[in-house]
Homo-oligomer: A and B are copies of this chain.
C-alpha cells in the first residue's frame, strides 16, 4: 500500500511532468509546480531534495507514459518487419500523447548545454529504445524475415531519428499531418530491408 506521502509524491510528479516537458528544466519554475499542485514550495522540498530530483522523476514518469503508449499492442503483431511498421505507426498516430511532446526530444535539446543528470536519463531512454528496435531487427534476420547483412543499429537509429525529427518539424509547423511523410519514407525503408 501507498503511504500518504508517496501518494503526494506521485501527485506532484504527475502535475510537474507536463510542465517540465513543456517548459524545460530552467523554464519551469518551482512556483509553476506550486500552482499546478496547490502544494507550497517547502512542501515540495519535503518530497524531493532538489528541483533536479523532481525534474528527473518527472522525466521518468513522462517517458514511461509515452513509451507505454508507443509499444501498446505490439505483442499481438506477428513478424519482425510488421512489428517495426507497427512501432512506426504507433508513433506517428500518437503525437500528442503527452503534453509538450516527446520528452526524449525535448530533454535532449534542452540539456544540450545544461543539466547533466537529465541528459543521462534522456540518453538512457534513447539507448533502451534503440536496443529494443535492434532486438527486433536481429530477430528478423535470424528468422529470415529481414535480409542478412542489414545492420540493426542503422535501422534503429534511422527510425528513431526520422520519427523524432519529424515530430520536431510537425510541432514547428503546427501540422501533425507532416508526420505521415516520415511514416511513408520509413515504410519504404522497411520494405527495402525485408527478405524477398
Show the binding face of A for B, using Cβ within 8 Å: 22-24, 26-27, 100-101, 105-106, 108-110, 112-114, 119, 122-123, 126, 151, 153-155, 157-158, 160-166, 168-169, 171-173, 178, 181-182, 184-185, 188-189, 192
Contacts and interface: CB of A to CB of B under 8 A. Distances in A.
A22 B109 CA distance: 10
Contact of A169 (B110, B161, B169): B161
Interface of A is mostly: helix
Number of copies: 4
A173 B129 CA distance: 13
Nearest to A171: B112
A121 to B, nearest CB: 11
Nearest to A169: B161
A119 to B, nearest CB: 7
Q: Identify which of A26, A154, A160, A169 gathers the most chain B CB atoms within 10 Å of its CB.
A: A169
Nearest to A157: B181
